[in-house]
Structure 1
Amino acid sequence: MAVHVAGLVAVGFFYVVILLTGILASRKSKQVEKKCSGRKSEVAIVGGRNINIVTGVFTMAATWIGGGYILGTAEAVYSPTRGLAWAFGPLAYFLNFLTAGLFFAKPMRSKHYLTMLDPFQDRYGQFFTTAILLPALLGDILWVACILAALGGTMSIILDLSSTISIPISAAISISYTFLGGLYAVVYTDIIQLSFIFVSLWLCIPFMFLNPAVTDPSQMTNFNQSNSLPWLGQVKLEDAGKWTDDFFVLGFGGLASQALFQRILAASSSARAQVTCFAAGGCAFLMGIPSVIIGAVAASADWNQTEYGLPPPYYRGEASNVLPLALSYITPAWVAVLGTGALAAAVMSSMDSVLLSSASMFTQNIYKSTLRKQASERELKWVIRISVLLVGLAGTCLAFNKSSILALWVLANDTLYCVVTPQLFCVVHLRSGNCYGAISGYVTALLLRVLSGEPALGIPPVLLFPGWREEDGVITQYFPFRTLIVFISLAVVVFMSWLFQLAFSRQLIPQSWDVFDAFKKKVEAIEEERTTIPISKD
């Protein structure tokens, strides 16, 4: 099978348009920098805080609608062991944005933070801020790997272009315009990318139903079985724990993402930040519908009537690539090329946001706050650019991993959900928390998560929760252990914060042991107040 030349030309044209848009956006960024009275590097991070609602909705939704979301949703619907009941991405993402708008947008935006880590830095200091950056950075790198792997699989199937070529090229383009234009480049390219994703995926669906290999929608069956609509799937009682856990991971893991807060903090007001979250949630939900339909079509199709033949993709271990396979074998060639463009757009719309989010946190909360407090604005801009390059390279290297797209997608959110989300809730809504409690909760969550194992990374579990099963030599936890870890972490933060506050206030622990200065300043202020109280002559 020769390389699809016309498809390559079409995708190449799309890449050129995106790159030129990013370059033009970099000029806009420079213009805003000249008008900006504050730090110039803030323009690259939050765009001067003047992103309107419409633009904000486009860029926020485009960030979440990545290759993992599109391919992972189709994979879940198609799989005979999962089905639509397990394709909780659209609903989980809607919950994510709803929660962000209700509980986090206003308190974060009203305090004029630049990054998600700013409240940690203000409350707990530099040590814990650095610690919380590590899982956030790992989550971003896994996210980049997931969406690039999705694109590599798509191009290799539809265009017959090796992933060793398509992944580096796509990554290079996304890194280039993010490198040049910062948030403005990301925002303007997101508008084009989301529009293209919407049009292309919906356009593919009618052509699928026109294919003779696809049955009437009302008579769809899974893998040509006699019972109707089994691709809907079901959640058995013994699987309810895992379903709940995976749903909450996708629904609340994204709350601890700088890519989300970057858009919240770039809004022109707290109210507009909330509206942007709500509207983006609805948009993300609607954008998941084409993937659901394509997964159902692939599950009901008679693959023997296509050039792909039998056995179906699931039995060849290609379920993670079912969407590009359906586009390639069930739609005309030019429609499949449009679908490839949609995947390319989805990948870059997510990747550029993730690259900038990691770079922003490192530059603002590590480099400027600790490593180079006197760094110039020009130096900070170059640190952001170099950070974008390094994170992009790390994610690109991991993209060649052969794991399921769905597994990588969940794992990227898993890291944030277990470790960072409970910490973010505490620092924003829990006034009595302190650094010692936060560290205790952090270490507890990290330790429990590692001991629980992770099949996608080949880590065997040490802690076995009720309901675990061993399948093909791999142990899978069916208990909602990650959600349990979140609640344990919350409880540890609250209890240990209270315990350390009690110990230091009653001098059960010497003040000299307060290495993070969590109580030293409070005690000094109280003592100073006592010494200034006038003493009566009586």
Structure 2
Amino acid sequence: MESSQLFLILLAVYLVGLIGIGWYFTKKQNTVTDFWLAGRRIGTVGVGFSSAASWLTAGGLLAVIAFFMLQGMGSIWGFVAPNILALLIIAIFVKKIKNLPAITQAELLEQRYSSAIRAPIGIIITIVMILFAVADIKGFALVLETFYGFDPLYAALIVALAVSVYVTLGGLSAVVWTDVVQFLFLSVFTIVIAIVSVGAATGGAVDAPANAGELFSNVSSGWWNPLSIGIPMVLIFLFAIVPGWITEQDPWQKVWAARDSKSARNGLLLGSLLITIVFAGCAVIAIALSSIYPEIPAAGFPMGMAQAEPALLVFVLENFSPFIVALSAIGLAAAAMSCTDTFATSGASCVSRDIYQRFIKPDATMKQMLAVNRLSVLFIVLAATVGSFFITSILEAIHIATYIASASYFFPLMGGLYWKRATKEGAMAGLIVGAVVQISLIVYDIYMTAPMAPAYLQTVHPVLMNHGVIAGMGLSAVAFFGVSLLTKPSSAVNLAPFFKEEAKNLAAEAAVTVEEDDPKFQKFLKRIDEQLVGERAHLHVRLESSASVNWHRFVEALRSSYAAWVTPTGVDSVYRLVQADMLSCVSITRGTTDKEIWFASEPPASEMGDQKKELFVAYNEVAAALESMGVILTVVEE
């Protein structure tokens, strides 16, 4: 049997397992929250392994090993350290992020500012996710080309078809649990290769090191110095990359999907530890490969990159049987898929929820939304596949995406979370200035840079390295803060989800009394679907009307009759804002059909009893609003 055939057989078995996971979760996708946020039930292990797997691309690993070979520990600031630091920093903000009632960052920013910012942010996040996915597909293409001589098209098709199938079946739940499997494959692969490569480096030629201790002691002291590139360069890298990664949507979705704040925080800490272990393995592999192929580090950077990036693949091909080569290819395929599926899910949520539902069909039913979301996943993967044939550098694709994110929406997002004075005008100014300046700098830098030469802007001044992202971020900050201070402060409705004192002022309506022994209330209680998930209870009620509901007309009738009902992100999600905690507030959305209305509330577990009364009050108000339209509302029998 040819080695390529063996690989395809093992790959088919592996993919069947992944698709099986997606199929298992497909029947659990009853709401868009189930699809996009895994029903908010992911624990520490799921968050940790998925967070780690989502940031370890196949191409990224090959590039990290190459940079270790050519530049030593000083190279960690371009990829390794930002990965670890970003997860640690997000862990600090978990409580703030977790309590925000949003599924996407674009939806979050509309709540904070206005509807005008939602589409631009959604489009930018989608582009960023596509560029990240491009790096994964290109990395896997390099693997298959080196091992089997496959055309890059085959790598793109394998990743595209596999990811599209299991993600569209199982949503984020499938992403998380396939990520767990994929990270295990990848980590075992890295550890085994590290051990074997050290063995090969110490047991080969006559002048080879006698043991591992001698191998590592032979490495120059400068190689071990993480500050060898100088403190200014370290700071430039951190300011260029970390802001983009801590505001990246996919880890925020893992936080929103976690069962509670503790699970999210511990999961991110676990993820950073798991990433550190894999990158430590990459450093060991780099030291061993430098001893085996001394001509590569001798070539220096950047001339040696052409040999350094595929060095691991060449080593595997030269030293292992076809079966082990095939297993290695699957391990790197796992890295490619574990990132692509996350980026596809995050990007698709922007396309389907922030663009389609928000602006094209606000009254879309859940059934329609799930269908659109699945099509959006296919769109993201297809776009990344096409992009992989036009972008040549793996890390360049990752960095370009990061720089656009850092310069465009870092300040509007993080500033909006913690600075009350931020305004919609300031957010739009920061977004537009940052995006336009950064994209222009990237295009100009690429155009002006000769092949194999240092980036043009970097030669002008070191602060302009990384396509001038520091300048892009600086101008975005000036526009954001300056315009915010010159314009009218945000309204209380926009501030309420982010600042409890504002929500308390807004939620001043007197509570409606509910009698415990009211027969209608007792009957209503039996229809509440309740689950305890971590620190919060999940309460759901499915309601059905006697006729199709004109959603726009209904929402207007509800808002005009009862001041507590608000629509901070459009008519697709309506809240009864009578509490400072927005997640606890009763929300209503259109159900599977145009006759269904779904109620939901996620109060702290200790307040579940009182919140059931709040659900009953909300039910009566919705029923009254519908009755004014000649429509009768009933609770769906389970």
Q: Same fold (TM over 0.5)?
A: yes
Of 82, 89, 98, 2:88 maps to: 98
8 A contact 2:349–2:373 mirrored in 1: yes
- Is residue 482 of structure 2 the alignment partner of residue 498 of structure 1? no
User: Amino acid of the residue matched to residue 191 of structure 2?
Assistant: W
User: Amino acid of the residue matched to residue 6 of structure 1?
Assistant: L
Superposition RMSD on alpha carbons, in Å? 3.3
Q: What do the CA deviations read for 1:42-81 (whole angstroms, capped 9, x no partner)? A: 11011111111222212222111222431221121123xx
| In structure 2, C-alpha distance between the alignment counterparts of 1:145 and 1:115, rounded to whole Å | 21
What residue number does 2:8 align with?
A: 8
| In structure 2, C-alpha distance between the alignment counterparts of 1:363 and 1:151, rounded to whole Å | 28
Deviation at 1:110, TM superposition (A): 1.0
Of 272, 282, 293, 1:281 maps to: 272
- Is residue 56 of structure 2 the alignment partner of residue 69 of structure 1? no
Q: What do the CA deviations read for 1:95-147 (whole angstroms, capped 9, x no partner)? A: 101111112x2122112321222221112222211111222111111111001
- Is residue 117 of structure 2 the alignment partner of residue 128 of structure 1? yes
Deviation at 1:159, TM superposition (A): 3.0
What residue number does 1:485 align with?
A: 472
| In structure 1, C-alpha distance between the alignment counterparts of 2:44 and 2:20, rounded to whole Å | 24
Aligned to 2:456, the other structure's residue is in SS state strand
What residue number does 1:531 align with?
A: none
What residue number does 1:143 align with?
A: 132
Higher relative CO (Cα under 8 Å, sequence separation at least 6) belongs to 1
Deviation at 1:491, TM superposition (A): 3.3
Aligned to 1:479, the other structure's residue is in SS state helix
Aligned to 2:309, the other structure's residue is in SS state helix
8 A contact 1:197–1:343 mirrored in 2: yes
Greater fraction helix: 1
8 A contact 2:68–2:75 mirrored in 1: yes
8 A contact 1:141–1:394 mirrored in 2: yes
Aligned to 1:375, the other structure's residue is in SS state coil
Deviation at 1:264, TM superposition (A): 0.5
| In structure 2, C-alpha distance between the alignment counterparts of 1:227 and 1:352, rounded to whole Å | 38
User: CA, structure 1 residues 236+108, in 2 after alignment: closer, same or farther (shift >3 Å)?
Assistant: closer
Aligned to 2:431, the other structure's residue is in SS state helix
Question: Greater CA radius of gyration, 1 or 2?
Answer: 2
What residue number does 1:535 align with?
A: none
User: CA, structure 1 residues 8+290, in 2 after alignment: closer, same or farther (shift >3 Å)?
Assistant: farther
User: Amino acid of the residue matched to residue 490 of structure 1?
Assistant: A
Greater Cα offset, 144-153 or 116-125: 116-125
User: CA, structure 1 residues 70+472, in 2 after alignment: closer, same or farther (shift >3 Å)?
Assistant: closer
Greater fraction strand: 2
What residue number does 1:396 align with?
A: 385
8 A contact 1:248–1:483 mirrored in 2: yes
| In structure 2, C-alpha distance between the alignment counterparts of 1:151 and 1:371, rounded to whole Å | 36
| In structure 1, C-alpha distance between the alignment counterparts of 2:352 and 2:328, rounded to whole Å | 36
Aligned to 2:13, the other structure's residue is in SS state helix
What residue number does 2:538 align with?
A: none
What residue number does 2:363 align with?
A: 374
8 A contact 1:259–1:357 mirrored in 2: yes
Of 238, 250, 254, 1:247 maps to: 238
| In structure 2, C-alpha distance between the alignment counterparts of 1:227 and 1:269, rounded to whole Å | 45
The alignment's TM-score, normalised by the length of structure 2, stands at: 0.68
Q: What do the CA deviations read for 1:493-535 (whole angstroms, capped 9, x no partner)? A: 1221111228x99xxxxxxxxxxxxxxxx9xx9xxxxxxxxxx
Percent of aligned pairs sharing the same letter: 19
8 A contact 1:4–1:160 mirrored in 2: no
| In structure 2, C-alpha distance between the alignment counterparts of 1:242 and 1:73, rounded to whole Å | 18
8 A contact 1:437–1:497 mirrored in 2: yes
Deviation at 1:167, TM superposition (A): 2.0
What residue number does 1:293 align with?
A: 284
Deviation at 1:349, TM superposition (A): 0.8
What residue number does 1:263 align with?
A: 254
What residue number does 1:324 align with?
A: 313
User: Amino acid of the residue matched to residue 13 of structure 2?
Assistant: F
Q: Pairwise mapping of residues 517-528 of structure 1 onto structure 2 (< 5 A)?
A: none
Greater Cα offset, 125-134 or 443-452: 443-452
Aligned to 2:362, the other structure's residue is in SS state coil
- Structure 1: stretches of 5+ with no match in the other structure: 34-39, 462-468, 506-521, 526-538
The number of equivalent residue pairs is: 478
What residue number does 2:565 align with?
A: none
What residue number does 1:55 align with?
A: 46
Of 441, 449, 452, 1:452 maps to: 441
| In structure 1, C-alpha distance between the alignment counterparts of 2:219 and 2:248, rounded to whole Å | 42
